[in-house]
Amino acid sequence: MEHKRVVITGMGAFTPLGQDMPHTWESVVSGRPNVRRIEQFDIRDCRTQIASYIDEYKPLLSENFSPSQLKNLRFGDRFVDFAALAAKEALSDARLLDSTGRLFETYAEETGISVGTSIGTPGKITEAANSFGFDHDINTADKTAVAEKMRHTSRKYRTSAITILPDSAAFTVSVLFGTKGIITCDVAACSTSNMNIILGATWIRHGYQKIIVAGGADALVDPLSTWLFGLLGVTSARNNDPSKASRPFDKERDGFVMAEGSAILVLEELEHALARGANIYGELIGWGVTSDGGGFTQPESDDIKNWGQVRSIKIALHDAGISTADVDYINAHGTSTIVGDINETKTIKEAYAEYAYKIPISSTKSITGHFGGTTGALETIFCIQAIREGIIPPTINYEIPDPECDLNYTPNVAVKKKIDIAVNHSFGFGGQNAILVLKKFDNESHGKEQSA
């Protein structure tokens, strides 16, 4: 069966760097982070006391959604709201919404959803449990008293059985905009949104859907997540210098900075996009997915050729039908952890061979922080923008070179360069690896293919 081509026709982002995609991208290119001390909850004894977080945003919901749509946002967690706002921007950008803010009915059955989250709703679970009286151990709680309290508590908490589900962002986006195709939510730690993009692209490639709303959302700046990642020792303790805390590949790095938000892309089958006169921002030409099969936070094997990270890159390049020589830019996973950045540098050297030192690389997490399940989709947008504008975003805070991280990481300042093909790396906890290959869309060459 002939494979369908997958293009990107809409992009949306809701982040601490900007409340839409253009402003977020502008902050990234300019190297302007928005990392601050956490003020929303008591974090005094935690290793990490800083994050990149979103301030009050609720008025934006009323500005972007009708009263009937707002009813479906009453009980969701923050990450659901973030997904809704990013999806609204992406679908509007793709010109798929009617005057009421709903999907044109003619596209409803052709459109599916593939939106994930890495953690789901830890804050919502805690909030609901405390409201019902499960302050400590659920097994020792007074069940009669809890049942009575539940009868008299607000509907907000009685609907928790639905709103704590990890796929609540996915199905809320579907309900808000009226899609009637596939809905799914893949959970794959830091690789979550790349995996959701890959799932959506696979459905389009094989003809199951014409359009997929794909990406991720996370609200990781909450007490539970902040404490847990701090206890793991993977987040930065540079609390007195927040804007300098995320420093991928720098010798003085000490962990990542947590962030929150959402990034959504509209994936579309090429002929469908052309037929309706859509703007095409780029093409997704290949992808690769593997697992390490050992080690929660890093590969266990000494044989680097068999690392899941290396294999995922090689699979993606093969799937795209390109060689390492064709790659113009790599958006690295680059989390700013000590071991992770060294391992990714080794991975790049093994996967890209002699071209590893020639290909410009950057870690935009130096600016954005780590968005968890949003990361892959956000960095896919950055790859597309890099291709469109011919600019490689910088890796900021790169001040002291690490001998074990010795590639071209585009230090501190964006660089102008013609880019035809970009590769996006995502490596998640548990050894979950997802790679995307993106290409500049050439309408002229497509026309020649059609006439040949």
Catalytic residue ranges: 190, 333, 370
Contacts of 284 (CB under 8 A, 6+ apart): 6, 7, 8, 197, 201, 267, 436, 437, 438, 439
Distance CA 381, CA 264 (A): 9
252 in Cβ contact with 401 (< 8 Å) = no
Query: What is the chain's Cα-based Rg?
Result: 22
Q: Which amino acid type is present at position 344?
A: E
Question: 396-405: buried (b, 16+ CB within 10 Å) or exposed (e) per residue?
Answer: bbbeeebeeb
Distance CA 393, CA 410 (A): 7
How far lies 3's CA from each of 6, 100, 234, 271, in Å?
9, 35, 41, 12
Nearest to 233 by CA among 362, 339, 306, 150: 339
